Amino acid sequence: DFFRDAAPYHHLRTQVLPALLRHSPAPRVMSAACSDGAELFSLAMCLAEHGAPTQARFLGIDCRQQAVNTAEAAWYPGAAMGAIPQDFRERFLVPAKNGFRIADCLRAAARWHKADICSFAAEAPCDLIACRNVAIYLEPHAADRLWQRLHAALGPGGILFAGKAERPPAPFVRIAPCLFK
């Protein structure tokens, strides 16, 4: 969903992203298990709020080709738009037949890949990785492997955005609800 869980998004918008952009003005953002792309586009909107989308690069990964196809199309029904802040709706949504399409400025910065997140290797270190509500469905050894891979994909000072019920192990350190450094 777009902007799922208001508290972590508020913290991202007000504290984490401004600090991240001071450290990395052209951030690399990955959504692991991106599904239909709503989470990655939510993060793109937040970074655009701080003036970053022209330099930022967004990568969505999912093991399902249909999910990747949906994310690439960047079309969503009107019912999916409820949690998107009104100013973001006006800036980043374009009315399309029976729904909305994500604005070209955000779509152009996003790439999508069909891949297994437990074996995918990012081209360069990421500044922000969203991997939400995935590890809770994995066996403990697979979840540990996932956390290790995500840690390896993060650059220095990188941020992990996890799900509410997920507690990534050390060396991750919780900095806010769902957010880990």
Inter-CA distances, 100 with 41, 53, 79, Å: 13, 20, 10
% of the chain exceeding 90 in pLDDT: 89
Q: Compute the distance between CA of residue 8 and CA of residue 5 in angstroms, rounded to an integer.
A: 6
Q: Tell me what the pLDDT averaged over the chain comes to.
A: 94
Could you write out the three-class secondary structure of 45-80?
HHHHHCCCCCCCEEEEEECCHHHHHHHHHCEEEHHH
Q: Compute the distance between CA of residue 140 and CA of residue 5 in angstroms, rounded to an integer.
A: 25
Q: Compute the distance between CA of residue 135 and CA of residue 147 in angstroms, rounded to an integer.
A: 8
Q: What's the pLDDT score for residue 122?
A: 76
pTM: 0.95
pLDDT tens digits for range 91-113: 999 999 899 999 999 999 999 99
Q: How confident is the model at residue 13 (pLDDT cuts 50, 70, 90)?
A: very high
Question: At residue 126, does pLDDT exceed 90?
Answer: yes
- Residue 16 CB neighbours (<10 A): 20
Contact indicator for 127, 20 with CB cutoff of 8 Å: yes
Q: What's the pLDDT score for residue 53?
A: 58
Q: How confident is the model at residue 16 (pLDDT cuts 50, 70, 90)?
A: very high
Cα-based angle 156, 124, 40 (whole degrees, multiple of 5): 90
Contact indicator for 67, 40 with CB cutoff of 8 Å: no
| Unique residue bearing structure tokens 């074996």 | 119
Q: What's the pLDDT score for residue 52?
A: 79
Q: Compute the distance between CA of residue 116 and CA of residue 34 in angstroms, rounded to an integer.
A: 11
Question: At residue 54, does pLDDT exceed 80?
Answer: no
Q: What's the pLDDT score for residue 176?
A: 94
Q: How confident is the model at residue 56 (pLDDT cuts 50, 70, 90)?
A: confident
pLDDT tens digits for range 74-85: 999 999 999 999
